[in-house]
Amino acid sequence: MKVVIVGAGFGGLRLARKLNNKPGIEVILIDKVNYHQFQPLLYQVATAGLDASNISFPLRKAFHKSKNVRIRLAELKELITSQHKIITSKEEIEYDILVLALGTETNFFGNQQLVDSAFPMKSTVEALQLRHKLISNFEEALLVKDPAELQRLMNIVVVGGGPTGVELSGSLAEMKNYVLPKDYPELDFSKMNIYLLEGSGKTLGSMSEKSSADSYRYLQKLGVIVNTNTMVSNFDGNNVQLKDGGIIPSRTVIWAAGVKGVVPEGLDKSLVVKGSRLIVDRQNKLKNFSNIYVIGDLAYMETPKYPQGHPQLASVAIQQATLLAQNMVSLQRNDTKFKDFEYYDKGTMATVGRNLAVVDIPRPKLHFRGFIAWLIWMSLHLVLILGVKNRFFVFSNWVYNYFTYDQSLRLIFPEFYKTKKKSESLVNQLK
């Protein structure tokens, strides 16, 4: 049985590892990059707390002893479902079973100016670009004489009050409070403003009321300007325009206001629902297909407990992949008693800063905040990171940062940044 998995995120990698060395099953794992990136800590790469290599794990290393899993570095271009094959940027690959684990990409809601000017943060490369931008702004600010332009350089706007926006805002605030004044003594950081703009009435809207209230209080404690019920209409590279007519002068906007599924070409549009997710049944089988499955953030599955679909969390993707692997092994053995998926919510969490975090556990219903929640958050993330070496370096960096109030990775790589921007420009021209 030839299983082709597209996407090596939490779901795709978990499925490949669960099918590793299973007799009678051949696995091809396809991804655009040759590493698995631990996305929950991308914001720490962007704010110089961690090195990119600390949260990245080579895919081939995970399968050194594998007899049946093979890696292909390519991008999915199109599905030809009638012929049971896919077309990638490198080759055509036939399949008996296809699993789409492509995840999501940043949703700019069709605004091209935001695409061109705002910074997303869905990949390691984007996190490094953001780091470069932040540090370069302060280097430029040292030479600026115009007060209005200086304020633009020192204002940072984060759009989206979910976990990514909250964690990033808190990390930026700690840089402002502890690190940047030592790096740039010529600048007055009391004039630096970090704005967190959220369209709904609260931060961490997917978590409990207590967590939302705690996160709001923690952000204010760190000096973040939190504006709820605030929508962004545009950003031209110099000014953030709000839907209520307000304007925030800034050269840096970080967009964490939403995601959409990465839907490949070759599928009927009727299969796509809100958020660009694909309709699947309780076994993650794509609607109208018998041999195509979708897992993770791209999958839209309605259940009695989740009539609007599951939350787009790593834990959902991991649990779906685990069950799908069990069902595939059963299929290989001609056992058609497949299990239906039921998500077991073990809890959600977010960190705002040093000793400041929130944790919600549904059963039993518990809420933790502050230092205890921060320890829980750190412990879980260390467990989930792939590789003993990565865990060691992440833990070492956290200990160093905690006792020194410093991040040691504030490096600028101009050539990398310029090359990446040139390649992005070329891609946009080709599109």
Summarised one tens digit per residue, pLDDT across range 93-148 is: 999 999 999 999 999 988 999 999 999 989 998 999 999 999 999 999 999 999 99
State the average pLDDT over residues 41-50.
Answer: 91
We report the CATH number of the domain holding residue 95 as 3.50.50.60
pLDDT of residue 153: 96
Same domain as 102, residue 116? no
pLDDT grade for 407, boundaries at 50, 70 and 90: confident
* Contacts of residue 326, Cβ cutoff 8 Å, sequence gap at least 6: 18, 339
pLDDT of residue 428: 52
pLDDT of residue 199: 93
Among residues 332, 365, 389, the one where a domain terminates is 332
Burial class (CB in 10 A: 0-12, 13-18, 19+), 99: buried
pLDDT of residue 96: 96
DSSP conformational letter for 336: -
Predicted structure pTM score: 0.90
Same domain as 375, residue 302? no
Cα 427 to chain centroid distance, Å, stands at 22
215-224 per-position pLDDT tens digit: 999 999 999 9
Same domain as 153, residue 269? no
**Position 55 in a domain:** no
What the block records as the tokens of 76 is: 């999915």
pLDDT of residue 16: 97
Assess contact for 131 and 45: CB atoms under 8 A. yes
The kind and range of the H/E element at 21 are none
> Is 94 noted as a catalytic residue in this protein?
no
| pLDDT of residue 403 exceeding 90 | no
Same domain as 250, residue 283? no
Same domain as 379, residue 396? yes
Same domain as 220, residue 78? no
| pLDDT of residue 415 exceeding 90 | no
In which order are the strands placed within the sheet that holds 239-242? 232-235, 239-242, 247-249
We report the CATH number of the domain holding residue 183 as 3.50.50.100
| pLDDT of residue 210 exceeding 60 | yes
* Contacts of residue 272, Cβ cutoff 8 Å, sequence gap at least 6: 261, 263, 278, 279
CA proximity to 174, closest of 269, 49, 280, 29: 49
Domain that holds residue 288: 2-32+74-106+260-332
State the average pLDDT over residues 228-242.
Answer: 94
Same domain as 265, residue 253? no
pLDDT grade for 408, boundaries at 50, 70 and 90: low
Domains of the chain: total: 2
Same domain as 326, residue 213? no
Among 167, 174, 198, 302, the active-site one is 167
Same domain as 153, residue 27? no
Taking all residues of the chain, what is their mean pLDDT, rounded to a whole number? 92
Does residue 422 or residue 231 have the better pLDDT? Answer: 231
Same domain as 241, residue 359? yes
Cα–Cα distance, 240 to 253 (Å, whole number): 8
State the average pLDDT over residues 81-87.
Answer: 96
**Position 219 in a domain:** yes
**Position 127 in a domain:** yes
Same domain as 326, residue 239? no
Same domain as 319, residue 175? no
**Position 39 in a domain:** no
**Position 68 in a domain:** no
pLDDT grade for 424, boundaries at 50, 70 and 90: low
Cα–Cα distance, 194 to 223 (Å, whole number): 8
Entry field: residues in the chain: 431
Among residues 332, 364, 388, the one where a domain terminates is 332
**Position 212 in a domain:** yes
CA proximity to 347, closest of 357, 356, 338: 357
pLDDT of residue 389: 84
| pLDDT of residue 4 exceeding 60 | yes
pLDDT of residue 173: 96
**Position 64 in a domain:** no
